Each structure stands twice: as C-alpha cells, then as structure tokens.
Amino acid sequence: MVVMPSKLQKGLPRRTGSLCPECLKVIPATLYIGDGALKMKKTCKEHGEFDEVCWSDAEMYLKAENWAFDGVGLQNPQIVDAKVCPYECGLCNLHYSATSLCNIDLTNRCNLKCPICFANANAAGYVFEPTFEQIVYEFAVLRAQRPIPVAAIQFAGGEPTIYPQFPEIVKAAKDMGFPQVQVATNGIRLATEDGFLDKVAEAGLNTIYLQFDGLREENYIKARGRPLLDIKLKVIERVRERKGKNLPTPTICFVPTMVNSFNDDQAGEILNYAIKNRDVVKGVNFQPVSLTGRIPEEDRRKLRYTLSDLAYDLEEQTGYLTRDDWYPVPFVSPISELVSVLTDIAKPSFTSHPACGLASYLFLESGKDPVPITRFIDVEGLMEDLWLLAQDTKDKKIKFTSKLKALQLLKRHFKPEEAPEGMGLAKMLKILNRMFTKGDKAGAAEFSWSTMYVGGMHFQDNYNYDIERVKRCVIHYATPDGKVIPFCAYNTGPNFREEIEKKFAVPIEEWRGRHA
C-alpha cells in the first residue's frame, strides 16, 4: 500500500550514479570494499579520479542494506516526465519515496555566523524571506501530496525563530493539519526572550530540534563563532519550567554536527547528557558533517566522519549501545505498511536509502543503565514477520484476525528474561494494540515516553554523492514556487538552494531600507 520491496541493487562491488565534485556532471561511480570500508571511486574525464570513504565499516553497511525498502512514489508528482536525477527536481516521477519530513526555510537571516552551516546565510549578500502567504501556499502543496499527505514539517533557515511572524506561522501549520511541527534552531531566542517559548508552545510547536555540539564551550567557539553552551542549557531549563506547570510543551531533540578530530570523542557525553535530561529531551540525532567546497583528499580523510564511526564511538564511550543495536531508517517500514493495511489509510513511511541514516531506541529506567530495545525484542524476526503479515492482509476484507496476529507476533519475539523491569509483555501489547487498531500516535507517544531515540543522519556532499540515495530521500525542502526538493539536491549537488533563494531574494541593502 505504501511500501514495496526495494529495487536497489545490492552487494559490493556495484555501479551507481554520482557527480563530479568539480563540474557537477553526472558520472558513473563504483561502490566497493577497500581496507574494510565502503568506498566510492569515480572518474571525471576533465577533473580526474576521486576516491572517498562512505562508511568506515563495510560490514555495517551491508547489514543495513539488507533492510532496504522502497516507497510507492507520488501519485501527483510536480514533475511528471523527468529523465535525469538529480537535475529535474520537483518532486518528480523518478522519486521513490514520499516526504517523511519537509523543511521550510523561513529566512536566510541568522544571529550566528557558523562556518559549517548549509545555508551560509550571512555570506549570501541578499535576504531570502518568503511572505506569510507564500509559506501557507507551501503548506497546501505538502498537504496535497498523495498518497500520503505530509505529516511533519520543520522550520529551518537561517535561524527560523527570527522570522517576524514565527508564532503565527506555527499556528498556521497546525491549522493546516500537520500533526508534527518542529523548528531547527540555535536556541538563542528561546533562551533569551522571556515569553517566546510560551508563544510558540501555545501556537502548537511540537519539537525543538536544538543545535547541540557538545558540553564543551570550545566546540561552540570554533564551530559557531561564540560561546553558546549557556544558551543551550537555558533552553532546557525553560522547557522544563513550562512543562512543570502542566502546560503543553514542545520536547527537545539534540542535533550535534559530528566532525572527526573535533567532537567525535564527545558522542557518548552528549547522549548521556540527553538521558540525564530525559524529562524534556526525547532524542539525539547525530549528523556527520557534510564537506562543502574544494577539499584535498588528505584533508577530507582527516575530517570525514561516517555513520559507522558514530556507532563505534558510542559503543566505546557508553558501554551500553553497541554497533549491533543500530538499524537503518527503512527498517521500520513493515510497521508503516501493516498499519496502513489494517486501517485502510496510507501512513507515513520511512523508505530512505539504507545508507542515509541509522537509529536505535534505548529503554530508560531510573538508576540503571539504558537498555537498547534490541536486547529484549528480536527486532529482525519481528520485522520479517510483520512484513509477511502485511502482504497476507492486503486483499482481505475482514482484518481483525490480522490485528490479533500482529500482537501474537510481538509475543513470539519478546524476550521477557532480557527485558528491563517495568517493560513487561502486557505493557508492550497495550502500546502495540493502540498503534495497530487506532493507527494514531497514542501508542507511539507512550512508547516514546519511556525511551530515548538515538539516530544518525549523514547528508551527502559532492564527494560521496550517490544518486540512488537522492531518489529515495525522505527529507525534503518546500519552496515558494510549489516545488519539493530532496535534501541532498537542495543543499549539495545541483544546490537548488542557491537558485531558489536568488529567485525570491531581495538585495540586502534594499531589505535593510524596508526594515529600517
């Protein structure tokens, strides 16, 4: 209904499509194993050969690849006759996946000057700041996507919270029917402006996607240009204070940008701090750095940080989360498919390329080490059986027995002797029953309440660019002209960001004159 077996060619070595990092022409590339790593080799007739590490552990990648699923694409793509990916974005007929999360840039203005920022806002020389009406139009485009209306949006930038009508645009998004509304922010306005958190919380903001590069001030001085640790801690304090009043309050997800030899030794420290603050922090989404500009190969190797590096570092630095506890984002696709089949409503699916991201869930119990959910549920066996059940249920008119079978499958794959105290089968059955029968977030909310999401999302750069990943991207950008563009085509590769911003931009001096 929303998920299908993947058409991705598997195994190594194999051929794929990529880009020349210099001229950005589409060129063939070979993915292969070298020195135990997954590498990409490609040659441009004009600019020569490039050899790049994509995953430091090829075996981890091959495990992830086993869990590839494709989406069914869009019934109403904006571009219906595209021939070449990634240069005809819109979304197009070549795209496999629906939008799981859509970014909407509210402005390219920012109150920081970060050298590692995708938007590079202060260097642009112009202001890109869509009108309220243009943004609402973007909402309408996303909600009209079929077969699955977009459910989750994230305001980005620049620094989105400095958009003049930020609380109002949050409310407009909720009024348009988005269940999940979040903001990617440095936290400055939330921390320093009294009452601002209250305004956005009352408008309906669900999640604060908080830039969080560690607990050491030197990280922020080097990467962000100024001390910011107190700002991050103040955001946590304000969220906790509001939640303590039993008021609707957004949760926090830490978003650390990870760079080799910069903060790779602090991954465990960041995760442990999130767990310490689990009353308000519900997830950590690590982002290995995307290398922009022309960088010599030797320097790239020094900076490059991959998803398998993250898994190894967290295993070494925490002791409770091992490399075997990670699975690729599409791993949970059988759940999306089964819930869609059982409810007869197309549900959001996460059918990204298996190389795009990894995730795990930790069960948290006060005073004890976190326990990955993989320890007390045979997750591979469960997903295999749920997928088979979904296929068996598709053509059935009466589906009640399939709902019962789904709960029985959980019982089969649940390992009570390994489960932490408080996570018994009855509780898990209750949670899954609500998810399978109602298809809403009630079950998921209870599940998230007692867990910590840990993820890694490695956005591409022009050196490790794999067009098969772009075709399956689930994190997109909406634009004022009604297009929806994959993340790794918007920020790298064709870099549609620059084209879109210039199309709708105002020269910076003109903008200043208007807002004097």
For 450-474, b/e burial (b = at least 16 CB within 10 A) is bbbbbbbbbbbbbbbbbbbbbbbbb
Question: Final residue of a domain: which of 448, 464, 489?
Answer: 448
Residues 6+ apart with CB under 8 A from 276: none
Answer whether residue 514 is part of any domain: no
- Residues 284, 412 share a domain: no
Encoded tokens for 449: 């309440």
3-state SS, residue 449: helix
| Confidence class for position 295, pLDDT limits 50, 70, 90 | confident
- Residues 244, 99 share a domain: yes
Of 416 and 24, the one with more pLDDT? 24
Instruction: Note the helical H segments in 180-306.
Output: 188-192, 196-203, 217-224, 229-243, 267-276, 297-303
CB atoms near residue 17 (< 10 Å): 18
- Residues 120, 25 share a domain: yes
- Residues 458, 440 share a domain: no
For residue 65, what are the domain limits?
Answer: 3-364+450-508
Answer whether residue 290 is part of any domain: yes
Answer whether residue 515 is part of any domain: no
Q: What was the pLDDT predicted at 308?
A: 98
**What is the CATH number for 221?**
3.20.20.70
pLDDT digits 0-9 by tens, 45-59: 999 999 999 999 999
pLDDT digits 0-9 by tens, 1-17: 899 999 999 999 999 99
Q: What was the pLDDT predicted at 439?
A: 47
Answer whether residue 228 is part of any domain: yes
Q: What was the pLDDT predicted at 360?
A: 96
Q: What was the pLDDT predicted at 421?
A: 77
pLDDT digits 0-9 by tens, 378-436: 999 999 999 999 999 998 888 889 989 998 999 999 998 888 877 778 877 776 666 55
Q: What was the pLDDT predicted at 434?
A: 61
> How much is the average pLDDT of 278-294?
92
Q: What was the pLDDT predicted at 309?
A: 98
Q: What was the pLDDT predicted at 438?
A: 52
CB atoms near residue 49 (< 10 Å): 9
What does pTM read for this prediction?
Answer: 0.95
Answer whether residue 488 is part of any domain: yes
- Residues 196, 291 share a domain: yes
Of 239 and 424, the one with more pLDDT? 239
Question: Final residue of a domain: which of 448, 471, 498?
Answer: 448
pLDDT digits 0-9 by tens, 264-277: 999 999 999 999 99
| Confidence class for position 122, pLDDT limits 50, 70, 90 | low
Answer whether residue 516 is part of any domain: no
- Residues 176, 98 share a domain: yes
> How much is the average pLDDT of 65-82?
97
For residues 256 and 267, the answer to whether their CB atoms sit within 8 Å is yes
Number of helical H runs and strand E runs in the chain: 19, 21
Encoded tokens for 349: 């699916």
Q: What was the pLDDT predicted at 443?
A: 52
pLDDT digits 0-9 by tens, 433-482: 665 555 444 455 555 557 899 999 999 999 999 999 999 999 999 999 99
Encoded tokens for 368: 């004890």
- Residues 355, 341 share a domain: yes
Number of domains observed in the structure of the chain: 2
The amino acid present at 113, given as its one-letter code, is: K
Query: What percentage of the chain reaches a pLDDT higher than 70?
Result: 94
The per-residue pLDDT of the chain, averaged, comes to: 93
- Residues 110, 8 share a domain: yes
Please report where in the chains the tokens 């208007």 appear, as a residue. 514
- Residues 276, 408 share a domain: no
Omega prior to 86 cis, within 30 of 0: yes
Encoded tokens for 295: 């960088």
- Residues 263, 160 share a domain: yes
For the residues of 302-366, what is the DSSP string, one character each?
HH---HHHHHHHHHHHHSSS-GGG-EEGGGGHHHHHHHHHHHTS--------TTTEEEEEEE--T
> How far is it, in rounded angstroms, from Cα 91 to Cα 97?
10
pLDDT digits 0-9 by tens, 303-353: 999 999 999 999 999 999 999 999 999 999 999 999 999 999 999 999 999
For residues 310 and 273, the answer to whether their CB atoms sit within 8 Å is no
- Residues 267, 159 share a domain: yes
Cα torsion angle, 266, 267, 268, 272, sign: positive
3-state SS, residue 156: strand
- Residues 424, 465 share a domain: no
